[in-house]
Amino acid sequence: MSTSTVPADNSFQLSQLWRDARYRSYSIQIIALIVALSVVMMLIGNAVENLEALGKDFNFGFLYEPAGYDIGQVLVDYTSASGHWKAALVGLLNTLLVAFLACLTATIIGVFVGVLRLSNNWVVSRLMAVYIEGVRNVPLLLQILAWYAVFIHVFPTPKQAVKAPVIEGAVYATNRGFYIPGLTFDGGYQIVVAVLLASIAGIFVFRRWARQRQEATGQILPVGYITLGILIVPSVLAYFAAGMPIGLDYPVAGRFNLKGGLKVGTPLIALWFALSIYSAAFVAEIVRAGIMAISKGQTEAAYALGLRPKRTMSLVVLPQSLRIIIPPMISNYLNITKNSSLAIAVGYMDLTGTLGGITLNQTGREMECMLLLMATYLLISLSISAVMNVYNESVKLKGR
Amino acid sequence: MKKMILPVALGAAFAATSLSAASAGTLEDVQERGKLRCAVSTGLAGFSYTDENGKWQGFDVDYCRAVAAAVLGDADAVEFSPTTGKTRFTALASGEVDILSRNTTWTFSRDADLKFTFLGVSYYDGQGFMVKKSLGVASAKELDGATVCIQTGTTTELNLSDYFTAEGMSYEPLSIETNTEGRANYLADACDVYTTDASGLAASRATFENADDHIVLPEIISKEPLGPLVRHGDDQWADIGRWVLNALKIAEEKGITAANADDMAANSKDPEVLRLLGASGEMGASVGLGNDFALVAIKSVGNYGEVFERHLGTQTKVNLARGLNAMWTEGGLQYAPPFR
């Protein structure tokens, strides 16, 4: 009988940090972390030192001083007496507006183009290929400038537009923007809005019920028409019942520009157009990749069941390819949002134009403005990413 | 991949330390480099533009050359950086350039908040409006509701807002980045009015095909004293820049030209002329330069009046009268402190 005379060696030696495989990876990571942190500290210290040498401090107080400049396209109340933070907010909303619009249209155009590129019709598929290759290989900035130039040269000046309106007295296309009637709200409009919101909620309920019914009985309801009915009929009834509280504000000719109504400026249109056309080419390729990844047998099986090509695409192929399409689409949406910062080229005052442009220049707070700007774009991008990832989870192949 | 972290981090650390190396005085930096780095505008007829040989020319450009001549003895030892209204201050503050000579308005906040030192006024200007004659506008007070093209990041932007607010009028701004884009938008009728400094309007109008179709409205809505500037904190460098500008003005006042400068230095009876041209006294040494710094500067670009007439005067396309920019002896505002 023998017992181990050697006690378990629990003593820890410093050299083990490096020699012992159990600890080594931790040591390396901690050293790397310390080095990385000291680099960051050094950069911050360097910036602080340089700012001090220039006699500048680091504070965000300038945001509350009056901005002093005007902005062409604003979504919230803004005058030159508002603070710089308000100007930044106007810019942020403008960025979000154009990013949202561009994501939407780029997706719609992109899906069409992507599907058509796979068309059996040789002319159609070649045309789409030419569009995709042409558009995505030309720098976006040039495209934005080109579209802007087209818009300001092709469309008439406001004075000529009044003589040649798109719709007499209501819609005008000018080289400074498109004018459409705006809405005016009188007392009691809340009822109409409430009814409208209620019908939108009703539509969701109805569509859900219709789908369940179809799954249960196989009967297909004319969902499209009924949806349209629910959307329009109650609101129209409420509108008349409340005494027509919502009116239209028509644009009228002024001394220089059209006055009244709703103006969508040329810079916004040009930027929106360019971003959509450019990004749609990428979306199209993503969609094509997604569709081609679906086995041909799926399509053939759907045809064998008697489904037409259009229904096969929308019911069989596209839903399956979504899980391949979504991840690259997320980065595409992020690109659209970030690319919208080229807006200043055509005078669209987005976040880069206000906070990162005029405010920075008038106050000389480069450091503060740039940090704020980067933080904001980071926040927008992460939010888009988060929302899209939730959607991605919902369409992912579910393992059972 | 994990192994890469350490060397990369160390490399970054070294790069960061080398960046923070302190800089000596600007004069030493410039002399050591043998080149003056001067920021000018991206292109404005008369003030700074590149000629058909690709050489920088203009009123603001010649000031850079004068400084280079005074500091380095060579008027061509200049590296020009074209800057926009937006990038100019960052370029100067970050030390990318030594001096900014780009029709920049001297204001309180730029002096105090942005930490720059203005060296004097090289051009007295004021903001004006240009419209097409066909609009039938005769005064800026009739501009209510107009779309105005404007360069962002300039004082014009702020003046415009102040003016329309004070007059109780409204306008739609179309903010663009450079003078070139502003002109293009204005010519394409994307805006009714183009506003910038009156000299800039005259310069732009000079480049139009049918200059007579456009008028500059009589209202001048602001004071725009334009001049060169440097960073705060280097008084010697500021003195050099300031006195090169003053030297050019004194030269005009005293009748010294590029052609007769040598002769004046040798034969003039005027003690101030002799001091200025380095023939008597030790004035140059007190700013760390040679005694003949003003002589070299004047010989290379001429006096203030010569520079003005060569680039902006009535014989040029820009066609600006001296007006406020005449010497004080001629009824203008240009007035240099005594050289003693």
Check residue B59 and give its pLDDT: 94
A316's CB contacts (< 8 A; 6+ apart) are A298, A299, A301, A302, A307
The pLDDT score that the predictor gives to residue B183 is 86
The ranges of chain A with pLDDT < 50 are none
Biggest CA–CA distance in chain A, Å, is: 114
Side chain identity, residue B181: E
Closest CA to A173 of A190, A154, A191, A187: A154
How confident is the model at residue B320, as a pLDDT? 87
Q: Residue A253: closest CA among chain B residues belongs to which residue? A: B145
pLDDT given at position B281 = 85
Residue of chain A whose alpha carbon sits nearest to that of B19 = A46
Q: In the beta sheet, which residues pair with residue A180?
A: A262
Confidence at residue B1, expressed as pLDDT on a 0 to 100 scale: 42
Closest residue on chain B to A350 (Cα): B175
Q: Which two tokens mark B55?
A: 């050489």
**Which of A35, A361, A365 is the best residue to mutate to test the B interface, defined by the most B CB atoms within 10 Å of its own CB?**
A361
Q: Which two tokens stand for residue A169?
A: 């007295």
Q: Which residues are bridge partners to B49 per DSSP?
A: B57
Mutate to test the interface with A, among B90, B174, B234, B235 (most CBs of A within 10 A): B174
Pairwise pLDDT comparison (A161 vs B132), residue with the higher score: B132
Do A242 and A188 meet the contact criterion of CB atoms below 8 Å apart?
yes
Closest CA to B181 of B158, B153, B204, B214: B204
User: What is the dihedral sign for C-alpha A180, A186, A90, A377?
Assistant: negative
Please give the DSSP secondary-structure letter assigned to residue B78.
E
Average predicted confidence (pLDDT) for chain B: 87
- Chain A interface includes B174 (CB < 8 A): yes
Which parts of A83-139 fold into alpha helices (H)? 84-117, 122-136
**Cβ separation A363–B233 shorter than 8 A:** no
State the amino acid at position A235 in one-letter form: S
Q: How far is B114 from chain A (nearest CA, A)?
A: 6
Q: Which residues contact B163 (CB under 8 A, 6 or more apart)?
A: B140, B221, B222
The strand pair at B36-41 and B99-105 is best described as parallel
* Structure tokens belonging to residue A21: 């495989």
* Residue A119, pLDDT score: 87
Q: Do B147 and A256 touch (CB under 8 A)?
A: yes
Interval B11-54: pLDDT, tens: 554 444 444 444 468 999 999 999 999 999 988 888 999 999 98
Q: Which helix (H) or strand (E) holds A193?
A: helix A189-217
Between CA A240 and CA A291 the distance in angstroms is 48
* Phi, psi (deg, nearest 5) at residue B172: -115, 115
Q: B2–A28: do the CB atoms touch at under 8 Å?
A: yes
Vertex B114, ends B113 and B115: CA angle to 5°? 90
Over the stretch B114-126, which tens digit does the pLDDT of each residue have?
A: 889 999 999 999 9
Three-state secondary structure of A146-166:
HHHHHHHHHCCCHHHHHHCCC
Percent of chain B clearing pLDDT 70 (strictly above) = 93
Query: What's the pLDDT tens digit per position in B282-340?
Result: 888 888 999 999 999 999 999 999 999 999 988 888 888 888 999 999 999 999 999 98
How crowded is residue B290: how many other Cβ atoms within 10 Å of its Cβ? Answer: 14
Q: Is A264 helix (H, G, I), strand (E, B) or coil?
A: strand
Evaluate whether B132 touches B177 at the Cβ level (below 8 Å). Answer: no
Backbone angles phi, psi at A188, to 5 degrees: 95, 0
Instruction: Residue B90: list chain A partners with CB under 8 A.
Output: 366
Between helix A122-136 and helix A266-292 the angle, nearest 10°, is 120
Identify the residue whose tokens are 């992460």.
A382
- Extract long-range pairs of B282-286: CB within 8 Å, 24+ residues apart: B283/B339
pLDDT in tens, A64-122: 988 888 888 888 888 888 899 999 999 999 999 999 999 999 999 999 999 999 888 99
B56-83 pLDDT, tens digit each? 999 999 999 999 999 999 999 999 999 9
* Contact list, B185 vs chain A (CB under 8 Å): 152, 347
The helix-helix angle for B304-311 and B235-253 (nearest 10°) equals 80
Query: Which tokens belong to B12?
Result: 């970054």
Single-letter amino acid code for the residue at A135: V
Spell out the SS3 assignment of B137-152. CCCHHHCCCEEEEEEC
C-alpha–C-alpha distance, residues A318 and B314, integer Å: 71
**What is the reported pLDDT for A147?**
92
- Three-class SS state of B95: coil
Q: Which residues pair with B216 in a beta bridge?
A: B130
Q: Give tens-digit pLDDT for A215-261.
A: 888 887 788 888 888 888 888 888 888 877 787 888 888 888 888 78
Inter-chain residue contact B189 with A175, CB threshold 8 Å: yes
> What is the C-alpha separation between B48 and B123, in angstroms, rounded?
14
